[in-house]
Amino acid sequence: MTVSISTVSSVPGNISPSTGTAKQDITNKGVQVSSPAFSYADIETKKETLTKQKLDLAEYISATEIEEKNLNKKLKKNLLGKIYDSIKDVVEEEGLTVVLDSSNVLYDEGVADITDKVISKMKKK
């Protein structure tokens, strides 16, 4: 796309025929047009480049999100394994046969809470 500018006699000195560039300030409309202008091909090339970059970025974001989920799964599995190992150690030391999650216990009377012992074991690992 090429922009052509016609000479306005009321704005002298803004068109320089010696350099081959045109710069015109139309004061009553507040418009400034500079040349050389981008061609249609230049604009289309830039659009294609930006579209490709946008797709590449979307693919990168998707890949990093998948990688983040996988790392979180591994971290959770590792942490749960450490918790289980610590519980197992405390159960063996205390001679317990059953361990319940406190959120699943409706009533307890004289039941040992091993939470602090498990946390202590985890800190040592």
With beta carbons less than 8 A apart as the criterion, state whether 86 and 118 touch: yes
The whole-angstrom distance between residue 57's C-alpha and the CA centroid of its chain comes to 10
Highest mean pLDDT among 19-33, 51-65, 82-96: 51-65
Phi, psi of 34 (to 5 degrees): -115, 150
- The 10s digit of each residue's pLDDT in 23-51 is 444 444 555 555 567 888 889 999 999 99
**pTM of the full structure:** 0.50
3-state secondary structure of 96: coil
DSSP string, 9-48: TTSTT-EETTTTEEEEEETTTTEEEESSPPPHHHHHHHHH
- Residue entry with tokens 């507040």: 30
